[in-house]
């Protein structure tokens, strides 16, 4: 039986997610967008996504939506 390596599983998962429209960021790419590895949300990308998905929405409403998502990430969900 051929052994299964963690790297093989990771590659398969990345391929499956890319097929669904996700874009893979290497660890090096992520470092430029995160202050720390513990930051789960890429804040600049989130802000851009909220703005581009909601044209015509007042900026204060967009800021409110952004803060709601950021605050979810800081809550203890356990």
Question: What predicted TM-score, i.e. pTM, was given to this entire model?
Answer: 0.64
Q: How is the chain split into domains, by residue range?
A: 6-74
State the burial class of residue 4 (Cβ atoms within 10 Å of its Cβ: 0-12, 13-18, 19+).
exposed
**pLDDT tens string 12-71:** 999 999 999 998 888 777 667 777 777 778 899 999 999 999 999 999 999 999 999 988
Is the pLDDT reported for residue 9 higher than 90? yes
Q: How far is CA 22 from CA 25, 56, 68, in A?
A: 10, 26, 23
CA distance 44 to 67: 13
Helix (H, G, I), strand (E, B) or coil at 62: helix
Instruction: Determine the pLDDT at residue 73.
Output: 62
């Amino acid at each position: 039986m051929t052994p299964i390596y963690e790297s093989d599983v990771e590659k398969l998962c990345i391929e499956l997610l890319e097929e669904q429209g996700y874009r893979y960021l290497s660890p090096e790419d992520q470092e430029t967008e995160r202050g720390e590895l513990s930051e789960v949300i890429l804040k600049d990308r989130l802000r851009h996504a909220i703005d581009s998905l909601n044209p015509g929405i007042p900026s204060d409403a967009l800021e409110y939506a952004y803060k709601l998502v950021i605050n979810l990430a800081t809550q203890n969900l356990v």
